[in-house]
Amino acid sequence: MRTITEDLFCGKEDSEDDLYQIGDELYAPVPAFDAAFGNDRGLVFIWLVVNRISNDPSYDKSLEDFALYLAGKKGVLTAGFLRPEASSVNYPHTRRAINEGEVKMGASEIRWGILGAGGIAKRFAASLETVEGARLVAVSGRSAERLAAFAPARIYADGADGFSAHASLIADPEVDAIYLALPHSMHLRWVLEAARAGKPVLCEKPAVLTEAEAHQLAAAVRGSGTLFMEAMKCRFVPLHAHARALIDSGELGRVCELTCSQCVDYGEDNLRYLVDPVGGGALYDLGCYPMSWVEELTQGNEPQVSARANWRDVSGGRVDWSGDANLDFVDVRATIHWAGDSAEYDCSVLIRCERGSVLVERAHRPERAVVSRPGMEDEVIAAPYDSDDFHGEIAHFCELMRAGATESPVMPLAATIRNARLIDAVRAVM
């Protein structure tokens, strides 16, 4: 028997007879793990081990193979570990022991509260019912009548601006985690309030409106030691793990060009948050999705940016309703399109590489991608949701909480900051 203090998965040949120990629990390595795949505590353990040692240059091929194996079954937990060197996370270069006090594992129930009662909050609440070990216990907003749709959850309503109701929910000792579903311009304020209360936050995209806000948010949650994650759901569906595995494998060569679109038709019934002159507009609401793909696939340098936008006058100012931007990185050219008045639906990401391309369909919540290679028939990658497009990010966040994490390796604070910086650069010239 080997203990967890040894060099796990690094330059060692594992067999089904090997076991690792943490406290009084035993865990099997890769060859024997399939038999115990339903053991969530084992999954969290392996997740933590990979997190600790995967940035060590000495790790062997078996670790990557293991991550790919898990990606096919549990993509949510492994998407950030397929190729750690391509991630924006700075993993610690360490193989030190993980003491029992550092690992918080188990299947404890996560009790959720939702700030806001809009359509996105209702979809989140419905998805939450499909996540094992998670339950909605409270919701806050202005109108008790509107909040009644979330029964039997406790209702916090103040009949005014919702501020006292949101504060009461955050203070509720029976709320373990918060899903922030308020308008974009209100995100920072309520993340800061939750951080002061020590409550983990899963915040709807875009988490912030500027890079300055992103740095303020990051400082607050890091200072409080609480978990924060931007709900960039496209990174948490199974298809994302498959697409990243293919790109990161090098089979298609390096990424050369990105064409990313999020073009829909809002229709005439414009929601209040869309016409807010501070946090409204299509770039914040829609463009953050294609920008997230750009952020993820262009690590290491900043671009030259050109952009244009079509504006709409609203009460108190104006908001962009559509636009295009070119972001020229040192080795990648990225083009993004966004629109809330598009006659044709186009939500896709085309990743052109040296030896082929990957077309990700419905890229904000993908289930299908088409791989093209010269001289070969196209390959279709189909990866259905575990339940729906919210399920992955919720399950991932719950696992982070149980593991005692303060950031997600899939959507870390660094990604939120850089996404905001790229959007700032576009807004500055459009």
How would you list the strands of the sheet with 201-204, edge to edge?
A: 154-157, 134-141, 110-115, 177-180, 201-204, 228-231
Mean pLDDT across 402-409: 95
Helix, strand, or coil (residue 400): helix
Selected residue with higher pLDDT from 154 and 301: 154
Check pLDDT > 80 for residue 362: yes
DSSP conformation letters of 127-191: HHTTSTTEEEEEEEES-HHHHGGGTTSEEEE-SSSSHHHHHHHHH-TT--EEEE-S-GGGHHHHH
d(CA 358, CA 381): 10
Residue 270: the pLDDT is 66
**What are the residue boundaries of the structural domains of the chain, listed by start?**
2-102, 110-232, 238-384
pLDDT tens-place string over residues 215-242: 999 999 999 999 999 999 999 999 999 9
Check pLDDT > 90 for residue 11: no
Domain 238-384 has CATH 3.20.20.80: no
Pairing of strands 110-115, 2-3: unpaired
Mean pLDDT across 394-418: 96
Mean pLDDT across 276-290: 97
Selected residue with higher pLDDT from 378 and 19: 378
Please report the beta strands in 333-429, taking only residues with DSSP state E, as ranges in sequence order: 333-339, 341-353, 356-361, 368-372, 379-382
Instruction: pLDDT band for 301, please (50, 70, 90 cuts).
Output: confident
Residue 268: the pLDDT is 75
Helix, strand, or coil (residue 39): coil
Selected residue with higher pLDDT from 28 and 75: 28
Check pLDDT > 80 for residue 79: no
Q: Which CATH class, in words, describes the domain spanning 110-232?
A: alpha beta
Residue 269: the pLDDT is 64
Tell me 177's DSSP state.
E
CB 232 within 8 A of CB 205: yes
d(CA 202, CA 40): 21
Residue 371: the pLDDT is 98
CB 411 within 8 A of CB 235: yes
State the pTM of this model.
0.77
Residue 108: the pLDDT is 84
CB 150 within 8 A of CB 125: yes
